[in-house]
Structure 1
Amino acid sequence: MKLLIVNHRDPFHPKAGGAERDLLETFSRLVKKGVDVYWLSEDVGRGPGEVSGIHLIRRGNPLTLHFRSLLEATKFDLVFDSVAHAVPFLSNLVNRCTVAKIHHVHQQVLRYELPPHLAVPVAWAERLSRFYKRVIVPSRSTGEEAVRTLKVRPERITVIPEGIDHSSYTPGEKSDEPFILWLHRMKRYKNPLHAIEVFRLAKGRGLRGVKLVVAGGGDLESQVREEAKRVEGVEVLGRVGEERKRELLRRAWLFMSTSFIEGWGLSVLEANASGTPAVGYRVGSLGEIIVEGVNGYTVPYGDLNKMADLLVNLFNDQRRLRAMWSSAYLESLKYDWEKTAEMYHEFIERLECIK
């Protein structure tokens, strides 16, 4: 069976992120199960032609890829359209055996990231996802949002949670100097400035001897660096490599998420697998992933005061915080890429449309 993934970026794209990680981890394991996997993405003029047994095809740019994908999709037995950047590829128009992977629903995020004259047509285009007969989502909340805002029929949706590489993300010795870690892409919907403001509020309420480390690259990095200068105890690292990322996750005492939306909270699970509990907004999948008092805590979206109080309470009760280091790791064991890949394999084997 020849399977095609259509996604704007491949793992070697300079802006590759969580969606690319998910696809690589899942489909490289399907290769080992005998599936012949190809990956179509934009041509940015870099990277080898294969990764982990997946054949990489590079064509066009962010716009023309949508047309080129229709030509490529006709050559395969099964196509997975990765709707990672809102506008679906609609390979189902030319290949009846097409599955859409909706990583998260972008409708509300678009107003954060795009000017109105672009946000409106892109939001309209995303609603074309309703025409896929088969849709995979990583969480119940993403499925519910797809039904509510994209009008995808619920019987067409399959929930397959994403996993964790437990060989890469492991618990380790914590930093002697306690620190809270915020590690995400610095995009508006990730709200990096919220993290700095929460930390400022917590310091004003008695948080002492704790740093906030902010890591990640993106559009807001310069603004974040300027804001950090106004709050003592904030360190901005910018973009970090994978090895440094894993070290930070292990050494941190607590992880913070301030995203507006989380189709799947991979960063939270990576922190948990590293023995680090998380605090975050109760949005999207985080309400499913975070078990209160076990691997973290959640607060209502935008409630900076409540999150600040939570930080103060946790660091004033370090016995409770330290106990969560082990319980967060144990909770993360529910998720594993091998389990995810097996669920995908079972899903594929049930498809009646494959030639």
Structure 2
Amino acid sequence: MRICSIITSFTSGGAEMLARDLAERFAATGHDATVIALSDASRIGNDCDTESAMMDHIRQAGGHALSLGLHNRNAWITGARWLRQILRTTRPDVIHSHTARALPVMALARPQVPVILTHHNSRLSFPPMAFHVFNRIVDGYVAISEQCEATLRQHSRKPIQLIWNAANPRFQAAGPRRVLARDPRILAVGTVSEQKDYPTLVRAARLLAAAMAPQGRKPRIAIAGGGPMLGQLQALVEATGASEHVELLGARGDVDMLMRQADLFVNSSLWEGFPISLIEAATSGLPMVATRVAGNREMIIPGVNGELVPPGDAQALAAAMATALSDEAAYAALSAGALESARRFSIERCAHAHLTLYGDLRGRRDGAPLPRQVAATG
């Protein structure tokens, strides 16, 4: 099968990482996989090294990585012209967009193959009325969590399939972690944005340091992620005197190594879809502390693989991190629980579910309509 996936740009966001990992898996199983970005990283302020590394990963796996090179992601006519040229060359059997921004471009390009859209968040980044247009363009939707599925169900007039996100196999830990570090390393991963609410994590870092100081322990939080708000966050870290406790790593292509070095994973988001970083953390055997929001709630089972806290609550976040790092036996149990929960989210299972969906849509596009909702996979 010839599969064309479309993303906003080659960056370290969850949607983009999933598209990359799926393309690698598709290529490894004999399919022709192409990933197309709407814009170059340099055009929209993303990290060029991350872009280069992602494109190299796809090509080395046997896939193709291209960019429309749009100066403006809303340059629909230009984008449609370039996309038509690429489609004439790649001749895909199916087009899977991981960004709603690509749908106007595809509407103008008028591909004669099934089109799928994955909505990667529990919130809409566009007006709900946009679905009146989307429903004319797409043949089916993919939801990455139960909350995303519920959101799509309110607006979609096409089939919806729930397919859980997945982690790259390179994150797989050999076994659970059993020893607590004296000076624990805590890791957060994700684009520096309003959604991730890193200011709350910065405040929690100082509270955590104060709580562990009587034990002579010095925790340190590392945040791996780039984005246009990185400078603002760095200014906040310096202004609040949190530099001793928080390190901003910027965009990184070695998150698997960072997770192997970490002792705890933290997510401070105000909202989520189903963060791949949590799956990666669980696959790495990391206990997790995260906010009690959609997506996170579907991954974390309190007391089994981590803890959930109210969003925006620095004190609760600090207390949960301190608790997770205070008892070695409980810590080892959480690590084992994380590894067990990660079993559901293999890239092999995720890719198989996508390929099944593609085959169904190809086979039925000109025949009987698919049911409104397809059974969930997971």
TM-score under structure 1 length normalisation: 0.81
Distance 1:338 1:99 in 2: 20
Structure 1 residue 33: deviation in Å?
Answer: 3.6
Of 243, 246, 267, the match for 1:235: 246
Q: 1:164: which partner in 2?
A: 167
Q: 1:129: which partner in 2?
A: 134
Task: Report the AA paired with residue 79 of structure 1.
Answer: V
Distance 2:129 2:82 in 1: 18
Task: Report the AA paired with residue 170 of structure 2.
Answer: S
Q: Map of 1:194-273 to 2, 5 A cutoff?
A: 194-203=200-209, 206-208=211-213, 209=217, 210-229=219-238, 230-231=241-242, 233-239=244-250, 241-243=252-254, 245-273=255-283
Contact in 1 for aligned 2:99/2:117 (Cα 8 Å)? no
Distance 1:174 1:202 in 2: 16
Identify if the C-alpha distance between structure 1 residues 87 and 348 changes in structure 2 by more than 3 Å, giving closer, same or farther: closer
Identify if the C-alpha distance between structure 1 residues 193 and 137 changes in structure 2 by more than 3 Å, giving closer, same or farther: same
Of 79, 87, 108, the match for 1:65: 79
Task: Report the AA paired with residue 166 of structure 1.
Answer: P
Structure 1 residue 196: deviation in Å?
Answer: 0.8
Q: Deviations over 1:222-251 (max 9, x none)?
A: 2322332313641314225433x3232123
Contact in 1 for aligned 2:222/2:249 (Cα 8 Å)? no
Q: Map of 1:305-324 to 2, 5 A cutoff?
A: 305-324=315-334
Q: Does 1:144 align with 2:144?
A: no
Q: Map of 1:273-312 to 2, 5 A cutoff?
A: 273-312=283-322
Structure 1 residue 203: deviation in Å?
Answer: 4.4
Contact in 2 for aligned 1:69/1:89 (Cα 8 Å)? no
Distance 2:79 2:36 in 1: 9
Structure 1 residue 144: deviation in Å?
Answer: 1.0
Contact in 2 for aligned 1:175/1:251 (Cα 8 Å)? no
Identify if the C-alpha distance between structure 1 residues 319 and 257 changes in structure 2 by more than 3 Å, giving closer, same or farther: same
Q: Deviations over 1:5-53 (max 9, x none)?
A: 22232xxx3x343222211221332234443333332463976694422
Distance 1:90 1:345 in 2: 24
Identify if the C-alpha distance between structure 1 residues 38 and 182 changes in structure 2 by more than 3 Å, giving closer, same or farther: closer
Distance 2:151 2:311 in 1: 16
Higher relative contact order (CA 8 A, sep 6+): 2
Of 192, 196, 199, the match for 1:190: 196
Q: 1:95: which partner in 2?
A: 112
Task: Report the AA paired with residue 273 of structure 1.
Answer: T
Q: Deviations over 1:190-225 (max 9, x none)?
A: 111111112234445x33322222332222222322
Distance 2:134 2:212 in 1: 46
Q: Deviations over 1:88-147 (max 9, x none)?
A: 34636543521112222553xx5xxxxxxxxxxx53685443443311122111111223
Task: Report the AA paired with residue 27 of structure 2.
Answer: V
Structure 2: unaligned runs, 5 residues or longer:
43-51, 367-378
Farther off after superposition, 262-271 or 168-177: 168-177
Q: 1:84: which partner in 2?
A: 99
Identify if the C-alpha distance between structure 1 residues 316 and 77 changes in structure 2 by more than 3 Å, giving closer, same or farther: closer
The secondary structure found in structure 1 opposite 2:307 is strand
Identify if the C-alpha distance between structure 1 residues 334 and 224 changes in structure 2 by more than 3 Å, giving closer, same or farther: same
Q: How many residues align?
A: 333
Task: Report the AA paired with residue 35 of structure 2.
Answer: W
Structure 1: unaligned runs, 5 residues or longer:
111-121
